[in-house]
A and B are shown apart, each in its own frame.
Chain A
Amino acid sequence: MNKKSLLVLALAAAAIGAAQADTLKKIKDSGTVTMGVRESSGALSYTLGDGKYVGYHVEICQKVLADVQKQLGLAKLDVKYQPVTSQNRIPLVQNGTVDIECGSTTNNATRQKDVSFAVTTFVEEVRMVVKANSGITAVNQLAGRTVATTTGTTSVQTLRKHERATGVDFKEVFGKDHADSFLLLESGRADAFVMDGSLLAGLVSRSKNPADYKIVGDVFSVEPIGIMFRKDDPAFKKAVDDSIKAMIKSGDVAKLYDKWLLQPIPPSNTKVGLPMSDNLKAALANPNDKPAEDYAKK
């Protein structure tokens, strides 16, 4: 190991040490807060370019931070947007670079060891999209067919487990990214494409002819998606949770859901068109921060 990497390690260690501080105090003292956002996470969090970030979770977070500002009695709160990726979001929250992450992070038991989640505000259901004229309506019709999914996603694992559990034998093809996987379906190389429901709905709405595709079948797996922040900071968690619970009660969350997932959204003014799932309705009726594992048990 050379001196440079030692230095990096030392800095990282210092950052982790500093991260133990109280988030509310940090926000009050500095008058700034850093929001982690995604460049492209469907309608939940995405960029319009030029440093602008929007989406369902981004807007919920903006309201939460407005409540935090009120609670702290700050005249002005400067919100900084920090783009994060699937790879770096957890380390950046842990080391204090990002105070609150508003992307599309699955709340599961492994991650709860490293970070904390607010009450669930979105539930992702892994489903499949098929050609509307294919006649496929259920997973058990996939025997002998070809199923596409995207390399580097948990859907591949879901599919494999499902195949094993149900004994339905299908061929798998893997797209390099979601657009490629959709192309596999479009060009007839695959009979179905299995992925997160919100991503599927978005891909269908942006396709050449949305009426050609249908999202069908059972739910392969259910994943609660939550707003993420540092662990062991009960005061901040309470502030965020209280704010979200108030929004759920007042119907603001339902309104935001309608705005981002059912109405036309920028930049292309197309609809995602994903009605609220029963799982999400249940989560909003009874706010909780249960990990994905608890959903699987049902």
Chain B
Amino acid sequence: MATWDWQVFCKNTIDGEVIPSCFGSGGDITYLNWLMSAWGWTLSVSALALVVALAVGSLMGILRTTPNKWLVFIGDAWTETFRNIPLLVQIFLWYHVLPALIPPLRQVPSFILVVLALGFFTSARIAEQVRAGIQSLPKGQRYAGLAMGLTLPQTYRYVLLPVAFRIVIPPLTSESMNIIKNSSVAFAVSIAELTMYALQVSEETSRGIEIYLAVTGLYFISAFFVNRLALFIEHRVQVPGMLGAGR
């Protein structure tokens, strides 16, 4: 059976010497330092992409349910564009192709580009869910809001969205967890996140099993934390007697 060597994380990345404290000092970096930094990159990319995805996705989802056909068209076009191109290809488009066409983009750090690519990709999926959430409400609610003299934005703000967003929390939870897992493609454009860490360090140390176990654990912890957080929010905002609030 394979023998474990967890000491590998205490090794210095320059000369492979084991450092007793497992954390390097004075410019030395151990594989554990590096792992923590890689986790940080994964979480930063995911968190910022999630903010982009929720903001843009909600907007596009709402546009698709408005009575104005031009707004609907914009929302539909956005969703179909970003939903039908593979994520990895989108990342390369942002990183290599668009900067070739639009020179100012060359100065933009790859971190921002990856956040946009991942955020927009996920926003298409969120737009679809938000649209489904709003359309699942009885038409009468919209008419009732308008009949009371509310404007269309007010109808959305006070009548439709509060219910629709509560309904779509479970699928949004999935998307938020997916964003952490999907952030692994960021390694393709030189973000030193967990997947790149795993590829690089298993080559350097020949300790692939330990490395992948550690990385898997961190991905699991990150996604599971999002899951618990979303569950907490779901319970906090639920309204008795409403859909999905049976517990």
Q: Which residues of A contact B (CB under 8 A)?
A: 9, 110, 151-154, 156-157, 160-161, 164, 172-176, 180, 183-184, 187-189
Contacts and interface: CB of A to CB of B under 8 A. Distances in A.
Contacts of A9: 1
Contacts of B80: none
B218 interface: no
B200 A151 contact: yes
User: Which one of B13, B202, B203 has the greatest number of beta carbons of chain A within 10 Å?
Assistant: B203
Interface string B1-41: 10000000000011100000000000000000000000000
B14 A183 contact: no
User: Which one of B192, B200, B202 has the greatest number of beta carbons of chain A within 10 Å?
Assistant: B200
B188 A188 contact: no
Interface in B55-79: none
A187 B100 contact: yes
B100 A160 contact: no
Contacts of B235: none
B187 A176 contact: yes
Contacts of B153: none
B88 to A, nearest CB: 9
B96 A161 contact: no
A189 B206 CA distance: 30
A153 B199 CA distance: 9
B190 A187 contact: no
User: Which one of A110, A151, A173, A184 has the greatest number of beta carbons of chain B within 10 Å?
Assistant: A151
| 3 interchain residue pairs of minimum CB distance | A173-B190, A152-B199, A176-B188
B199 A151 contact: yes
Contacts of B100: 187
Interface in B172-211: 187-188, 190, 192, 196, 199-200, 202-204, 206
B204 A187 contact: no
A252 B214 CA distance: 49
B14 A154 contact: no
Interface residues of B, number: 20
A180 B92 CA distance: 10
Contacts of B13: 157, 160
B157 interface: no
A187 B99 contact: yes
B106 interface: yes
9 contacts: A9-B1, A151-B199, A156-B200, A156-B204, A161-B14, A164-B14, A176-B188, A188-B106, A189-B106
Given A174-B187, A187-B96, 12 more contacts: A9-B1, A110-B206, A151-B196, A151-B200, A152-B199, A152-B202, A153-B203, A154-B204, A157-B204, A160-B14, A173-B190, A175-B190
Interface of B is mostly: helix
Interface of B: 1, 13-15, 96, 99-100, 106, 110, 187-188, 190, 192, 196, 199-200, 202-204, 206
Nearest to B28: A164
B218 to A, nearest CB: 18
Nearest to B198: A152
B57 to A, nearest CB: 27
A122 B52 CA distance: 51
Nearest to B27: A164
A7 B91 CA distance: 43
A174 B196 contact: yes
B8 to A, nearest CB: 14
Contacts of B203: 152-154, 156
A172 B191 CA distance: 10
A128 B15 CA distance: 22
B187 A151 contact: yes
Nearest to A188: B106
A184 B100 CA distance: 12
A184 B92 CA distance: 11
A115 to B, nearest CB: 14
Contacts of B14: 160-161, 164
B106 A152 contact: no
A89 to B, nearest CB: 13
Contacts of A176: 187-188
Contacts of A152: 199-200, 202-203
Contacts of B99: 187
Contacts of B192: 174
Nearest to B195: A151
